[in-house]
Structure 1
Amino acid sequence: MIWKQVIDPFNSIALSVLVAAVPILFIFWALIIRKMKGYQASLIATGIAMLIAILVYGMPVKLALLSAAHGALYGLFPICWLVLMAVFLFNLTVKSGQFEIIKHYMASITSDRRLQALLIAFSFGSFLEGTAGFGAPVAITAAMLVGLGFNPLYASGICLIANTAPVAFGSIGIPITVASQVSGIPELPISQMVGRTLPILSVMLPFYLVSIIAGVKKAQEVGPAVLVSGISFAFLQYFSSNFLGPALPDVIAGLGSIVCLMVFLRFWKPKTIWRFANEPAATLNTDISYTNGQLLRAWSPFLVLTIMVIAWGIQPIKDALNTAGMTQFEFPGLHNAIQGEDGTLLAKVFKLNYLSAAGTAILIAALIAIPLVGLTYSEGLSVCGATVNQLKFPILTIASVLAFAYILNDSGITLTLADVLANTGILFPFFAPVLGWLGVFITGSDTSANALFSKLQYATAQSIGVDPVVTVGANISGGVVGKMISPQSIAVAAAAGNLVGKESELFRFTVKHSFIMLFFICLIVLAQAYALKWLIPTYEMLGSQKAAVSPDVTKGYTYLVVLAVILAALAVTILTTAKTKKETPDLAN
C-alpha cells in the first residue's frame, strides 16, 4: 500500500498551518513555560505529532509508527553513538588525571573565562565541526569547559551559540554538498554565497559570546582579543569558502583563530582576570611546572582525536571503510511506501556505516588514548560503563527527538509550514533563512534541512526573479542559527554539560539568541537579493547527468596505512617521554 502525502489537509492553508505548528509550539511551551525535562517534552511532542499525522493528515497508523521507529534508530546511530564516544573520550582524560594538566596549561595561557571560552567553544569547536560535526563539537567543548570549572549552563549554552558560525561547513562541507545535489547549483557558488553571509556573523560572534558570559562592559575589556579572534576567523572563513570550496573553511578558520589568539595573548593580557560570580580567584601554582612531554601526554587524547576525525573525513578513507564495513537495508514496510506531492516515492534506506561513522573514529581514538594517559583497558571499560549510565536519559531524548522529526517530515507537516513561507512573494528572500532555521530546528541537522528544502528554495526564487543561489545559500545560513535550539542539540549539550533533566533551562538560555541572529541573517539575505546583487557569484548549473566514479579503495587503504604509521609514531613519542619522566623524577625539581 502506498500513501500520498497531503500538504493542505483542510483545503485552507491558514487552518492547516495552525494545526501543523502545534507540535513545534508544544516544544517551545514545554521547555520555556512548563520547564519539562528534555526526554519528557520530546516524547509527548512525538505523540502529538503522531496523532496529527494520523487523524489530520490521514497517515496510516502503521506508517506513522514505522516512521517514528526509523527516526529513533537514526537517533541511536549515528547520533547517540557519536555523543557516547565523545563523552567517553573526555571522561578517560579526567579519570587519568591528565585533564588537571590541561587545566593548568589553559590557566598558564589565560585563566580569564572570557578568553578560555573563545579558544575552546568558538575556535576549537569550529575545528571539530569541520572535521566531525553531528554533535561532536558541542559534546567535547562543553565537557572541556565544565571540566575547567565553567558554570555548566554557561558552558553548554555558549558552546551551542558558538557552534552557529561553523555549522554550514560542518563535516568537511557535507551540508553544502547536499544542497548542491538537491538544487543542481554547483558546490562552489553555494559555498561562496554562504561565505559572503556568515563571516559577517562570525566577526561579531566572539564579542556576542563574551557579552553573554560577562556583560557588554566586561566584553569591551577584552576587545583587542575579541577582535583578533573574530577577524581572523571571519577572514579565513571567507577566503577558504570563496577560493577553496566548502570542505575546509571550519578547519582552517578554527585552527587559524586559535593560533592568532594564542600568539596575541603572549603579548597582551587583560587588565583584570574575569571569573564567574562566587568563583574563587584564579590561582596558578608556579611551583608546579610540566615538561613538554607531560603536556603532550595530557593532550594526547585530543591530538589522536584530531588526527582520526581528519582522516575519517578524507573521501578515499570513507570509501574504503564503507566498502569493508557498511550494512544498509530498506526499512521494512516504510521504504517506497510514501509518495511525495510530486509523485516520487520516498526511499527509506538505513545505512549502518559502523566503520566510517565519526563515532567509530572517536572510539578508536579513545582506545589508543587509554594506555597513553596511563590507564588500563579494564579501567577504560569501567569508564565506558559509567559513561553509558551518565547518558541514559540523553540517549532516550535524542532517540525520541529524531522520531519526532521523522514523523513531521514523512507525514507532510513540515511541507505545510514550508508552503506558507514559499508563498510570501517578493518578501521570500527575507523568509528563506526562516525555512532553513525551521528545518534545522526539526531535524537537528543543516544537512537534513538542505535535503528537505533546497529544491523548494531554488524553485521559489526562480518564480519571483531572484537568483536561486541566494535563497539556497539562505537555507544553509538560516539553518545554522536553528542548531542552537534544536531539541537534538539541546540534548547533546545537556549530556556533555551535566545538565541532564535541565534541558528547559538550556533552551531558555539559547532561544532568544537564535531569534536575534535569525533576524539579522534575514536582513542580510534580503539585501543580497535586491540591493547587493554584486555579491552574488556567477555560475552555471550542474549537468543533468554526472559520470559515476567508482571509489578508489586502494588509495583509501594506503591512506589508512599512513594513518596507522602516524598514530604509532605519536604513541611511541608520548610513551617514551612519559617513561623518561618516570625514570628521572629528580630532574624536574
Structure 2
Amino acid sequence: MFTQQLQPVADSQTLSALVAVVPLLTVMVLLGVVRMRAHYAGLIGLAAAVLVAWIPYGMPLDQTLSSGVQGALFGLFPIMWIVINALWVYRMTVRTRHFDVLRRSFGRLSDDPRIQGLVIAFCFGALLEALAGFGAPVAISAVMLVALGFDPVRAAVVALVANTAPVAFGAMGTPVVTLAQVTGLPLDSVASVVGRQTPLLALVVPLLLVMLVDGRRGLRETWLPAVVCGVAFAAAQFVASNFVSAQLADIAAALVGAGALVALPSARKPADEAVRAAVLTGARSDDLDREDARPEVLRAYAPYALIVAIFSIAQIGPVKELLEKATQSLRWPLLDVAGPEGEPVSGNVFSLPLVATGGTLVLFAGIGTAVILRVRLRTALSEWGATVHELRFAILTVTSVLALAYVMNLSGQAAVIGHAVAAAGAGLAFFSPVLGWFGVAVSGSDTSANALFGALQVTAAHQSGLSPELLAAANSSGGVLGKMISPQNLTIACVAVGLKGREGDLLRKVLPWSLLLLMMMCLIVVAQSTFLAVMLP
C-alpha cells in the first residue's frame, strides 16, 4: 500500500507544495507562454506529474502509471464518449441539411437583430453547448449571425460573450461530471451548487448581449425581452440541475429561455429599419428567404426533442435502476493507495457505467436521429468515424489532462497544494473562481480546469473550514468566464467568421466583460460562503 504524505520533500510543506505545482506550471507555461498545442502540453505535463509522483513523492512507479491509465480511461469513457456521440448527432443534421432548415427557422422568429442575437447566440448557443461544447457553440453561432447580416467582429464578440452561463453543464454535463469524479464529491451535490451560481450569470448576460449588438439603444429598447429570456433560462437551469439531472440542465435552460422569448409579444415586433441598418452591416445569406416544408422543420427540431425525451425517461425511478444494473465496478489493478490518515482512497475501485451515462443515452438519440432524418446506415457510421477523427486531438488532450489529474490526486500532490492554498483562509472564497477562470483561460476547457484544480480546491476547503462543494463549484463557475478569452476559442471565432489573425482585436473587446463577470462571480461565492450561505443546499 502507498500512503500519501503531506510533507514528502525534506519534511517541508512549502517545498513539497513547490515541487507538486511543477506539473501544473509546466502545462500553463507551455499553453500560455510557449503557445504549444494543448495535446502536446498535456502529455508533457503528464510526464512531469509522473516524475514528481515517483521520485520526490515516493509513489511506486507501477502505481503511478496505473493511476495515469485510470485517468486516461475516465477521459475516454464517459467523458469523450459523451462528446463524440453528441457531435455525431450534430454532424448528421448538417449532412442532411436539416441544420440549414433550423437556421432559417431561427431567422424567421424575428427580424430584430437584437432578438436574433439572444435566440441564436444565447439560447441556441446554449443548446449547442449542451450537446457538443468544445468550441462548437461559438463557431456555429457566429456563422449563423454573419449569415443574418451581422458584422463579423460583432458576431464573434456576441458569440464569445454568450458562451458563458451554459459552459459548466456543457457536453451533457461533462465539466461537472469530471469535477465530481476528481474530487470524490457526489455529482448531485456539485451540480446543485453550480446550479445556484451560473443561473445568476444568466440574468446578466442577455442584457449584456443586446448592448453589444446595439449599444445603449439596444439596452433601452430590448431590456424586457433580455430580462424575460435570462430569468426563464436561469430558472430552468436551476430547477434541472438541482432536481432533475445535470445532463439536462442546459437543454432545459436553452429551450425554456427560447420559448419565453418567442412567446413575448414585444420580441416579435418588426424591427426599426434604423436599427437594422446600424447593426446589419455585413452580407446577408441568400437562402434565408427560402420556405421550408413543415415536416422538414419538425425533423430539424426532432434530434433535440429526442435527446430531451430519452434523458427524461432515463430519470424515471424504475428505468434509472434498470440502466444502473449494467454498471460494472472493479478493483483497479496495481493500485492500492491510502490517504494521509490511512483510509483507502476512491481510486482503488473503478466504476464503469456502460448504459447509465450521458454518452450512451446520446448514442440512443443518435440512432433515433438517423432514423428520423433518413440517414443510411453506411452514412451514419461514416459520420461517426469522421467525428472521432475530427476530435482526435481533443481526445488526446482530455485523456492526458485527466491522466495528469489522477496522478496528482492519487500521489498526494493535489492534497499538498490544497493545504498550502488553505493559508489564504477566508480570502479563499474570493480567489477560488479566479483559479478556475485562469485554468479555462489557458486550457480553453472547463473540463480540463476542473480536472486540474478541483481536488486541490476541495482540500483547501477542508483545511480552511469552507464548504468543499462551494469551492469545487466555484472552480467550474469561475472557469466559464475564462472561456471567452482562451486562445482556442478566440481562434475558433476568428476562423469561423473570416477574421484569421485578428485574435488580439477580439481579446481586447471581450477581456473587460470577462473580468467584470469574474468579479461578479467572486462576490457571489464570497456571499454564499458567509451571509448568503442559505443559498447552498
Query: What TM-score, normalized by structure 1, do the two folds share?
Result: 0.71
- Check the 8 A contact 1:88/1:366 in 2, yes or no: yes
Helix, strand or coil at the partner of 1:301: helix
User: Aligned in 2, Cα 1:536/1:305: closer, same or farther, shift over 3 Å?
Assistant: closer
Structure with greater Cα Rg = 1
Helix, strand or coil at the partner of 1:328: strand
- Check the 8 A contact 2:232/2:256 in 1, yes or no: yes
Note the 1:390-429 alignment, pairs <5 A: 390-429=390-429
Once the two structures are TM-superposed, the CA of residue 137 in structure 1 deviates from its matched residue by 4.9
Once the two structures are TM-superposed, the CA of residue 232 in structure 1 deviates from its matched residue by 3.2
Superimposed CA distance per residue, residues 360-389 of structure 1 (whole angstroms, 9 cap, x where no aligned partner): 222221222223223211222222222222
Q: Which one of the candidate residues 118, 126, 144 is aligned to 1:148?
A: 144
User: Aligned in 2, Cα 1:416/1:207: closer, same or farther, shift over 3 Å?
Assistant: farther
User: Aligned in 2, Cα 1:537/1:200: closer, same or farther, shift over 3 Å?
Assistant: closer
Q: Which one of the candidate residues 163, 166, 171 is aligned to 1:163?
A: 166
User: Aligned in 2, Cα 1:442/1:154: closer, same or farther, shift over 3 Å?
Assistant: closer
Q: Which one of the candidate residues 521, 524, 536 is aligned to 2:534?
A: 536
| Alpha-carbon separation, structure 2, partners of 1:274 and 1:17 | 58
Look up the match of 2:320: 318
Q: Which one of the candidate residues 428, 451, 461 is aligned to 1:457?
A: 461
- Check the 8 A contact 1:5/1:341 in 2, yes or no: yes
Helix, strand or coil at the partner of 1:280: coil
Once the two structures are TM-superposed, the CA of residue 182 in structure 1 deviates from its matched residue by 4.8
Note the 1:175-574 alignment, pairs <5 A: 182=185, 191=192, 197-208=197-208, 220=219, 223-235=223-235, 253-264=253-264, 265-267=267-269, 269=271, 272-273=275-276, 279-283=282-286, 285-286=288-289, 288-323=290-325, 325-334=326-335, 337-348=336-347, 349-433=349-433, 444=448, 454=458, 457=461, 460-461=464-465, 472-483=469-480, 516-530=516-530, 532=531, 536=534
Superimposed CA distance per residue, residues 511-548 of structure 1 (whole angstroms, 9 cap, x where no aligned partner): 88666544432223334545x35x62698xxxxxxxxx
Once the two structures are TM-superposed, the CA of residue 163 in structure 1 deviates from its matched residue by 2.3
Number of corresponding residues:
512
Once the two structures are TM-superposed, the CA of residue 57 in structure 1 deviates from its matched residue by 2.0
- Check the 8 A contact 1:5/1:339 in 2, yes or no: no
Superimposed CA distance per residue, residues 149-198 of structure 1 (whole angstroms, 9 cap, x where no aligned partner): 6679769845652424757x958997999999959xx969x95x766654
User: Aligned in 2, Cα 1:178/1:285: closer, same or farther, shift over 3 Å?
Assistant: closer
| Alpha-carbon separation, structure 2, partners of 1:388 and 1:176 | 24
Look up the match of 2:34: 34
Provide structure 2 residue ranges, at least 5 long, that are not aligned to the other structure.
147-151
| Alpha-carbon separation, structure 1, partners of 2:165 and 2:198 | 13
| Alpha-carbon separation, structure 2, partners of 1:181 and 1:52 | 23
Helix, strand or coil at the partner of 2:340: coil
User: Aligned in 2, Cα 1:85/1:143: closer, same or farther, shift over 3 Å?
Assistant: farther
Once the two structures are TM-superposed, the CA of residue 65 in structure 1 deviates from its matched residue by 1.4
Provide structure 1 residue ranges, at least 5 long, that are not aligned to the other structure.
462-467, 540-589
| Alpha-carbon separation, structure 2, partners of 1:176 and 1:26 | 21
User: Aligned in 2, Cα 1:328/1:528: closer, same or farther, shift over 3 Å?
Assistant: closer
Once the two structures are TM-superposed, the CA of residue 92 in structure 1 deviates from its matched residue by 0.8
Superimposed CA distance per residue, residues 428-447 of structure 1 (whole angstroms, 9 cap, x where no aligned partner): 44345457778997964869
Helix, strand or coil at the partner of 2:275: coil
Helix, strand or coil at the partner of 1:418: helix
Matching residue's letter, 1:17: A
| Alpha-carbon separation, structure 2, partners of 1:296 and 1:235 | 26
Look up the match of 2:149: none
Superimposed CA distance per residue, residues 193-250 of structure 1 (whole angstroms, 9 cap, x where no aligned partner): 7666544322112244566x758568647544333322333455567889x6886865
Q: What is the aligned-residue RMSD (CA, Å)?
A: 4.7
- Check the 8 A contact 2:83/2:359 in 1, yes or no: yes
| Alpha-carbon separation, structure 2, partners of 1:56 and 1:113 | 59
Instruction: Give the number of the structure whose residues are more often helix, by fraction.
Output: 2
Helix, strand or coil at the partner of 2:408: helix
Superimposed CA distance per residue, residues 392-447 of structure 1 (whole angstroms, 9 cap, x where no aligned partner): 22221221121122122122222222212322234344345457778997964869
| Alpha-carbon separation, structure 2, partners of 1:538 and 1:161 | 21
- Check the 8 A contact 1:2/1:339 in 2, yes or no: yes
- Check the 8 A contact 1:113/1:274 in 2, yes or no: no
- Determine whether 1:81 maps to 2:84: no
Once the two structures are TM-superposed, the CA of residue 77 in structure 1 deviates from its matched residue by 1.0
- Check the 8 A contact 2:162/2:205 in 1, yes or no: no
- Tell me whether 230-239 or 146-155 shows the greater mean CA deviation: 146-155
User: Aligned in 2, Cα 1:166/1:386: closer, same or farther, shift over 3 Å?
Assistant: closer
Matching residue's letter, 2:283: P
Once the two structures are TM-superposed, the CA of residue 95 in structure 1 deviates from its matched residue by 0.9
Matching residue's letter, 2:341: D
- Check the 8 A contact 1:114/1:274 in 2, yes or no: no
Helix, strand or coil at the partner of 1:161: coil
